[in-house]
Amino acid sequence: MNSLTPLRFHVPEPASRPGGKPDFSGVAIPKAGSTRRPPVDVAPEEIRDLAYSIIRVLNHEGQAIGPWVPDLTQDELVAGLRHMMTLRTFDSRMQMAQRQGKTSFYMQHTGEEAVSCAFRIALGPDDMNFPTYRQAGLLIAHDYPLVDMMCQIYSNANDPMKGRQLPVFYSSRKHGFFSISGNLATQFVQAVGWAMASAIKGDSRIAAAWIGDGSTAESDFHAALVFASTYKAPVVLNVVNNQWAISTFQGIARGGSGTFAARGLGFGIPALRVDGNDYLATYAVAKWAIERARLNLGPTLIEYVTYRAGAHSTSDDPSAYRPKHESEEWPLGDPVIRLKQHLIAAGAWSEQRHKQTEAEILATVIAAQKEAESFGTLHSGSKPSSRDIFEDVYSELPPHLRRQRQQIGV
């Protein structure tokens, strides 16, 4: 006879599923302006609380309050709003283009626009991002040509990636945007290496690493934190917690307690949690971490608390695993609407200007789309050369690839 209690296997479940009522009661949201702003040279153990709180600047009335209010001018904030609106418009046009069969695949940023758009503005022009597939705001806020992005998505003859990469896997060294890979988390540790290189050379450039909540479970997340901590690498380690990894809620990657930010503390890395839908807070926290890196104070981990309002990709249907209107209930709202309200409250914006800007941006994006489509889309128009299959595998074409290229007659 066994008197021991049978063990029970635990599998975390989200608060609600399709057909259920969205429930974010588990997400504790501190009041805007209520979180302290420590000096950048603070010891990580002195700001443990910031890894469990959420830094917020914009309150419900759209006012910017508290110690994290950044020194952005109203013009800069309007520019930020335009970046986010451009990304959203770009997303909807490309989503539609995929539905029209003009490309095979697309991934939207809906609800997460503030994270990458604000970060780019906080970063210097020569710093390097190691993004995931959901940070196109880094390109848009750095004036990367929309036409080039679209040509990449369409895999036409003007695609800078020569048709080799899935749509949205951009690369631009010039714009501080490292080549995107399909393999999750790999870039997180590469960013640390880039930052180590900058330190080895006595450079002043820093690196920014990007990862989603789900991918923090990959071993490279751990490796990145170890190396960043050991060598005090000048890197900002960005975790975008949008609550979902395809169909898997963030509790599967995180477990039942703690936060993603808190994972930095065990490595001796200062960690902050920020309202990812608050452009001002996101910018301010990014700026703080970037300054730390620039002053050789070492890495910082930032968790951006946001919500993936759209589907994971054009191949995904979220209604199969989460309540249909869950995104509308997300307590941190919509980053575009919140910045718009702030600017209106500050007297720097109006409903009319917003509508006018929306129309302008749509016209710009449509014009770019027309130009991109004039070069071709996935199944029509110009295509990258078949020779491009064989180029760039190595710096020079080795004999075996020369033979293979001859076999297809190019």
Partner 1 sequence: MPRMTMIEAIRSALDVAMGRDDNVVVYGEDVGFFGGVFRCTQGLQQKYGVSRCFDAPISESGIVGTAIGMAAYGLRPCVEIQFADYMYPAYDQIVSEAARLRYRSSGDFTCPLVIRMPTGGGIFGGQTHSQSPEALFTHVAGLKTVVPSNPHDAKGLLIAAIEDPDPVIFLEPKRLYNGPFDGHHDRPVTAWSRHELSEVPEGHYTTPLGKAVTRRQGEAVTILAYGTMVHVALAAVEETGVDAEVIDLRTLIPLDLETIATSVARTGRCIVLHEATLTSGFGAELAALVQEHCFYHLEAPVMRVTGWDTPYPHAQEWDYFPGPARLGQALRDLVEIR
For the CB of residue 399, give the shortest distance to partner 1 in the complex, in Å: 6
Let me know: does 368 contact 146? Beta carbons within 8 Å: yes
The strand pairing partners of 128, in sequence order, are: 207
Let me know: does 236 contact 299? Beta carbons within 8 Å: yes
The structure tokens listed for 176 are 């501080």
Let me know: does 314 contact 100? Beta carbons within 8 Å: no
- Gap between the Cα atoms of 119 and 283, Å rounded: 6
- Gap between the Cα atoms of 368 and 360, Å rounded: 12
Cβ nearer to partner 1, comparing 162 with 292: 162
For the CB of residue 173, give the shortest distance to partner 1 in the complex, in Å: 5
Cβ nearer to partner 1, comparing 69 with 197: 197
> What H or E segment, with its residue span, contains residue 341?
helix 335-345
* One-letter identity of residue 353: R
Question: Is the torsion defined by CA of 197, 200, 206, 207 positive or negative?
Answer: positive
Cβ nearer to partner 1, comparing 126 with 328: 126
The residues that touch partner 1, with contacts defined as CB under 8 A, are: 128, 130, 160-162, 164-165, 169, 171-173, 178-179, 181-183, 186, 189-201, 207, 219-220, 222-224, 226-227, 230, 392-395, 398-400
The strand pairing partners of 240, in sequence order, are: 212, 304
For the CB of residue 263, give the shortest distance to partner 1 in the complex, in Å: 16
Cβ nearer to partner 1, comparing 366 with 410: 410
For the CB of residue 14, give the shortest distance to partner 1 in the complex, in Å: 29
For the CB of residue 126, give the shortest distance to partner 1 in the complex, in Å: 11
For the CB of residue 51, give the shortest distance to partner 1 in the complex, in Å: 23
Cβ nearer to partner 1, comparing 64 with 207: 207
Cβ nearer to partner 1, comparing 20 with 124: 124
Per DSSP, the residues of 220-269 read HHHHHHHHHHHTT-SEEEEEEE-SEETTEETHHHH-SSS-TTHHHHTTT-
For the CB of residue 144, give the shortest distance to partner 1 in the complex, in Å: 12
* One-letter identity of residue 153: I
* One-letter identity of residue 18: P
Cβ nearer to partner 1, comparing 205 with 287: 205
* One-letter identity of residue 355: K
> What H or E segment, with its residue span, contains residue 208?
strand 207-212
Determine the straight-line distance between the first and last CA of the chain, rounded to whole angstroms. Answer: 76
For the CB of residue 319, give the shortest distance to partner 1 in the complex, in Å: 32
Cβ nearer to partner 1, comparing 42 with 401: 401
What 3-state DSSP class applies to 149? helix
- Gap between the Cα atoms of 328 and 7, Å rounded: 39
